[in-house]
Amino acid sequence: MPKNNNLITVSKLIPTKSSHVVLGTAAVPAGMTRYVTMVKATQVQGASGKGSRVYFCSAAASGTGTNQTTASAIQKLNLAIPSAVISAAPTSAPTPIVIKSRQVPAMSDSENPLFTIAESKWFTATLSSATGASSPVNVFAQYYDQ
């Protein structure tokens, strides 16, 4: 695949549980494929103690996949951010270390996509509604259409 330099990045906030955002301004144009090269989800809350799960989806319409059940069915990838990660073996009172970001892959490479979205489909992201998995997140995606 020749290198596509027309990389598009999008960063969006998903502020409430079971809500979704469209990544990109429109559906994938006819005759093209959307190559997603990197996705990242970062929790936006300051305090620890809550997790998040984000589904990155290939949706038939911009409004499809707006809840956890439908998003799970059309997911291309999901990222789970734990509520916290303990800093040491819990022999006494462990100190939580807040790791609030997940990224796949660790290094982006525009010539080697992570997954694809077919023509006419929409690239969307949905935040879970499950208790402990619905803390607001900022999602970042890098892609190109070719």
Partner 1 sequence: MAKNNNLITVVKQLPTGGKATAIGSSVAAGLTRYVTFVRAARDVLAVNTAVGSKLYLCEALSNAKTSYSTPTLASALQKMVVVIPSAPTADKDFQSTPKIDTENPLFSIAESKFMTTLLVSDAGLSGAVNLFVQYYDQ
Residues forming contacts to partner 1 in the complex (CB under 8 A) are 1, 33, 49, 51-53, 75-90, 94, 96, 102, 104-109, 112-116, 132-133
Element (H, E) at 141: strand 137-145
The minimum distance between CB 104 and partner 1, in angstroms, equals: 6
Q: Toward partner 1, which CB reaches closer, 61 or 88?
A: 88
Using alpha carbons, select from 112, 83, 111, 113 the residue that is nearest to residue 99.
83
Residue nearer to partner 1 on the CB measure, 60 or 86 = 86
In whole angstroms, how close is the CB of 83 to partner 1 at the nearest point? 5
Other C-beta atoms lying within 10 Å of the C-beta of residue 108: 17
Beta carbon of residue 53, minimum distance to partner 1 (angstroms, whole number): 7
Dist CA 55 CA 133 (whole Å): 11
Question: Under a CB-based contact definition with an 8 Å cutoff, are residues 14 and 125 in contact?
Answer: yes
